[in-house]
Amino acid sequence: MHLGIFGGTFDPPHIGHLALAFEACHQLELDNLLWVLTPCPPHKPNQPITPLQQRIEMVQAIVKNEPKFELSRVEIDRPAPHFAVDTVEILGDKYPNARLVYLLGGDSLRDLPFWRQAQKFTRLVDTLGVMHRPRASIDLSALKHDLPNLREKLFFIEAPLLQISSTDIRQRVRGNRPYRYLLPPLVDNIIIKHGLYASRF
């Protein structure tokens, strides 16, 4: 089976994440897609982050009506630090017959050489499904030079570029600017219910 792994802070999850997830399911013929919520992302040490419970609630709202989507607790249930290399190793052991397809945006691919044990990470995954992001230019030859086993694993997902980010949505909420159609209504309900992003971000 083809198992998608989609790691993120999801603070909040938005239409950009959904576009990537749906395109990946279609183009990479995923049987299941695990949304791997990261409790404390090692690469965002200085960023205030919404409490885990409320981010869980938002990701649950995203996955609950999509049969292929699932919230994975693989990082939630283990102590920090949460490195992707450990996550894919654990999931590889748990699903020994699955082909592991790790999804990420172009900005994350650009930073991949700086991830913990990037060589091992690229060895453990079968495919890296990448969706371009505006303003994230990628030097592919440098990447392939740094991580030679990326070569036959990269798959670029064809999709419209979406200039949507969680950062922008947090700023819009705080600044009282429109954001409603940048994320699903169920997620917006949770933002409103808990008063998220109003002051701290």
Contact residues toward ligand ATP (CB under 6 A) are 8-11, 16-17, 20, 104-105, 107-108, 131, 133, 162, 164-167
Give strand pairing partners of 155: 129
- 101 within 8 A of 2, measured Cβ to Cβ: yes
Q: Please, which residue, 124 or 133, has the CB nearer to ligand ATP?
A: 133
191 sits in which H/E element: helix 185-194
What are the φ/ψ torsions at residue 103 (nearest 5 degrees)? Answer: -100, 140
- H-helix segments, 52-184: 52-63, 84-94, 106-111, 118-124, 140-146, 166-174
Min separation Cβ 49 and ligand ATP, Å? 9
Q: Please, which residue, 93 or 158, has the CB nearer to ligand ATP?
A: 158
Min separation Cβ 44 and ligand ATP, Å? 7
Find the largest Cα–Cα distance for the chain.
Answer: 48
Q: Please, which residue, 8 or 184, has the CB nearer to ligand ATP?
A: 8
Give strand pairing partners of 154: 128
Q: Please, which residue, 13 or 124, has the CB nearer to ligand ATP?
A: 13
Min separation Cβ 6 and ligand ATP, Å? 7
Q: Which residues contact 152 (CB under 8 A, 6 or more apart)?
A: none
Min separation Cβ 99 and ligand ATP, Å? 19
Min separation Cβ 150 and ligand ATP, Å? 15
Whole-Å CA distances, 41 to 6, 24, 26, 49: 14, 23, 28, 9
Please compute Rg for the chain using Cα positions: 16
Q: Please, which residue, 124 or 128, has the CB nearer to ligand ATP?
A: 128
Q: Please, which residue, 85 or 96, has the CB nearer to ligand ATP?
A: 85
Min separation Cβ 97 and ligand ATP, Å? 26
